[in-house]
Amino acid sequence: MTPDDPASTAEPDKTQPPLAALRYATPAELYAKMPHVSQLTLHRPTATERAIEYLYRLRASTTPEEAVTFTAFATMPKMGVWWGYECLRQSGDALSNADREMMELVANWTQYPDNENRYRAMKAALYAPVLTPATYLGLATGWSGGAIAPNDPAGVPAHRGPRALNTAVLSCLAQSNLQARSIRLARFIDQAEVLYHAT
């Protein structure tokens, strides 16, 4: 179920995320407005390619991990963090106590996305002794928008959150053995598809 949206009270099999799931109308616009994504992907969208079409093309390519990177940049911050949370939650990896606490902070922000909860997740991630997928997801939450710190009015650079989200999901993918990796990646992309169908 997606965070804090009108469909959250619907029947589970009919739940859909909100319509504002993607940052831009087309992948081409995303690549033009957020050039950092082009530094992390070999492929490029065509001028008329729809987001779901580009996702499918990346998935079928020799570098299907780029579908994860594209999703990390293409989705609105809140929906991207929700997707990352679901990827980590469904991976089945054992979590340390610190990672469980981090996941709770992230989940709390997706339900109550105010600055207080965002700063709480960011602080925990910045001071985490080990960089784990959950830590990077906490950074993605902290860098999802707004001021970079309570005492610093400067805005968070737009690429920081997506980069952290990309690292969270890809590092979670890397924790699986080679035989299971393609299955895990397919599940992550399946989880992302609903966001593209919502537009």
Percent of the chain with pLDDT over 70: 89
Tens digit of pLDDT for each residue in 80-95? 999 999 999 999 888 9
**Over 70: is that where the pLDDT of 2 sits?**
no
**Over 80: is that where the pLDDT of 19 sits?**
no
> How many other C-beta atoms can be found within 10 angstroms of the C-beta atom of residue 116?
9
pLDDT at residue 3 in the model: 52
pLDDT at residue 123 in the model: 97
Long-range contacts of the stretch 115-123 (C-beta < 8 A, 24+):
115/146, 115/147, 115/150, 118/142, 118/144, 118/146, 119/149, 119/150
Tens digit of pLDDT for each residue in 146-176? 998 888 889 999 999 999 999 999 999 999 9
Q: Are 193 and 52 in contact (CB under 8 A)?
A: yes
pLDDT at residue 199 in the model: 55
User: Average model confidence (pLDDT) for the chain?
Assistant: 91
Find the mean pLDDT for residues 40-47. 98
Find the mean pLDDT for residues 28-45. 98
CA dihedral 179, 188, 173, 78 (to 10 degrees): -170
Domain extent listing, the chain: 77-178
Between 51 and 11, the more confident residue is 51
Helix/strand/coil percentages in the chain, nearest 5: 60, 5, 35
Do you know the residue count of the chain?
A: 199
Q: Which tokens sit at 111?
A: 């339900």
